[in-house]
Amino acid sequence: MWLRRGILIYSFLVFQICSAQNISRRSFPKGFVFGTASSAFQYEGAVKEGGRGLTIWDTYAHTKGKIVDSSNADVADNQYHLYSEDVRLMKDMGMNAYRFSIAWSRIYPDGTGKINQAGIDYYNNLINALIANGIEPYVTLYHWDLPQSLQDKYLGWLHPLSIKDFATYADTCFKSFGDRVKYWITFNEPHTFIIQGYDMGISAPNRCSVFLRANCSAGNSATEPYIVGHHVLLSHATVVDIYKKRYQPKQHGSIGITLDSFWYESATKSSDDIQATQRALDFNLGWFLDPIIIGDYPRSMRTRVRRRLPRFSKIQSSLVKGSFDFIGINHYTTWYASKANIKGQPNDSISDPGAYINPLKNGKPIGERARSTWLYIVPYGMRSLMNYIRQKYGNPPVIITENGMDDDFVTFKDALNDEKRIKYHNDYLNNLLAAIKDGCNVKGYFAWSLLDNWEWGAGFSCRFGLYYVDYNDKLKRYAKDSAKWFKNFLAS
């Protein structure tokens, strides 16, 4: 088992980078990309402008009791109107790339049918502004904001028609923007939006087993996550196939997918806990990366989920396998894993791995906590995860498409003096550089996030930005010390 070997290999590396070294852009290989990341729903606002249609997140955010601070993303950071200013901020920092998502409902307000030219025009303007300022656009096609019309029409990702409609939307984007966009990402974090939206019911479209959770009116936590995951993988592979056959020969771009993954440390050296740790990785990263690299789901998923896990036909397996030019990885934190003592058969995608994951061991946290209850600062997890991907999956090209931390809700003055965030990025970048020196094929790093923004279920209650956004004064942007740190880091 790779993980057992990995524990032996890295047990002496965990403390190797105790004190981060001073690094800069030139510490990294030539051509290594540095950028910031965002998403349409969290940034754009203008939800009723430019012909945009409603999304499942508009519906969810406006449902009473779903968002911690009772806010919504109707305005968010208003990047729809302020994108020129935000491009200037990126240029001033010295970032050479910007990852953003296209809102499907701005291109097709109803998910299908007639193209909305105003949406095409908006993204053309944004893309052109980025390129004019020497910033490479990295475009995500789906960042959680399914058009509400498709959810109403056939339950969205639960229906195989979603594959066809997503392919039509993606094809339109390639045709409209591919002459300038050279880096495409099909999906952002399928694992997270599936677990939260179809098992836990704490994200759009708010589905889960009613007998398991009290916060959903419909759903099945035992089956729906796997059905949606299957359709997402087939949608991804179909779109990659379209791009590679119709557009890549002329446009000369690259296409991949962004997967989220914690790193998991075995809570003990026992065989049971080591095996549970491997299953935690399989059900997090492997759920999507195994099919894309190998052509099928991890063996542990097949063994434990059984008939609830859909099967690929030979044609589908061939389509999914190898459907990437690069793999995007969103990594923020590390937790412990141990064998879970579950009575009876697991009955949902959270309990199926048979792994208990927790940031605490014997009451002691694995690292310092950021504001979010799930985000503990464990820089060596970056190096461990990169080496795991290198060893287990044949060292594919990887781009860190998100990495960052959120602040405690503090005063304006304290928010700008974000030394904790500076240390976070410095330490994680040190470990990323160490992974590259280990031989990991990592090509870029995107900080989450350029701006404070609307953070899904947390609303505006936490701040991940390098720039502070004053939500009480016309959304003015102010550079935090971390933005100034990145400017110095990138200027070296």
Q: Which of 204, 199, 78, 194 is nearest to 457 (CA)?
A: 204
368 is catalytic: no
**120-166 tens-digit pLDDT:** 999 999 999 999 999 999 999 999 999 999 999 999 999 999 999 99
Q: Which of 132, 113, 104 is nearest to 44 (CA)?
A: 104
Q: Is 263 helix (H, G, I), strand (E, B) or coil?
A: strand
User: pLDDT at position 230, please?
Assistant: 99
User: pLDDT at position 3, please?
Assistant: 61
Please, what is the angle between helix 224-242 and helix 161-177, to 10°?
40
Of 189, 224, 265, 455, catalytic: 189
User: pLDDT at position 18, please?
Assistant: 40
Burial of 376 (0-12, 13-18, 19+ CB in 10 A): buried
Q: Phi, psi (5° rounding) for residue 300?
A: -65, -35
CB distance 469 to 453 below 8 Å? yes
Give the C-alpha separation, 193 to 207, whole Å: 11
**82-118 tens-digit pLDDT:** 999 999 999 999 999 999 999 999 999 999 999 999 9
Cα 458 to chain center, whole Å?
16
Nearest 5°: the CA angle 469, 473, 474 is 80
CB distance 333 to 260 below 8 Å? no
What DSSP string describes 387-420? HHHHHHHT---EEEEE----B-S--HHHHH--HH
Nearest 5°: the CA angle 329, 305, 225 is 55
Q: Phi, psi (5° rounding) for residue 97?
A: -155, 155
Whole-prediction pTM value? 0.96
- Span 67-91, mean pLDDT? 98
Half-sphere exposure of 182 toward its Cβ, with a 13 Å CA cutoff?
10
What single letter denotes the amino acid at residue 134?
G
- Any residues with CB less than 8 A from the CB of 145 and at least 6 apart, and which? 39, 40, 41, 55, 56, 57, 101, 103, 104, 105
**Does residue 389 or residue 4 have the better pLDDT?**
389
pLDDT bucket at 8, cuts 50 / 70 / 90: very low
User: pLDDT at position 20, please?
Assistant: 54
Q: Which of 85, 83, 76 is nearest to 55 (CA)?
A: 76
CB distance 425 to 482 below 8 Å? yes
For the chain, the average pLDDT equals 95
pLDDT bucket at 17, cuts 50 / 70 / 90: very low
Q: Phi, psi (5° rounding) for residue 390?
A: -60, -45
CB distance 91 to 134 below 8 Å? yes
189 is catalytic: yes
Give the C-alpha separation, 315 to 328, whole Å: 25
Give the C-alpha separation, 158 to 227, whole Å: 6
pLDDT bucket at 211, cuts 50 / 70 / 90: confident
pLDDT bucket at 2, cuts 50 / 70 / 90: low
**274-305 tens-digit pLDDT:** 999 999 999 999 999 999 999 999 999 999 99
**223-277 tens-digit pLDDT:** 999 999 999 999 999 999 999 999 999 999 999 999 999 999 999 999 999 999 9
Q: Which of 476, 380, 374, 482 is nearest to 422 (CA)?
A: 482
User: pLDDT at position 214, please?
Assistant: 83
- The pLDDT of residue 4 is above 90: no
Give the C-alpha separation, 344 to 351, whole Å: 11
Of 44, 265, 402, 455, catalytic: 402
Q: Is 275 helix (H, G, I), strand (E, B) or coil?
A: helix
Give the C-alpha separation, 470 to 75, whole Å: 13
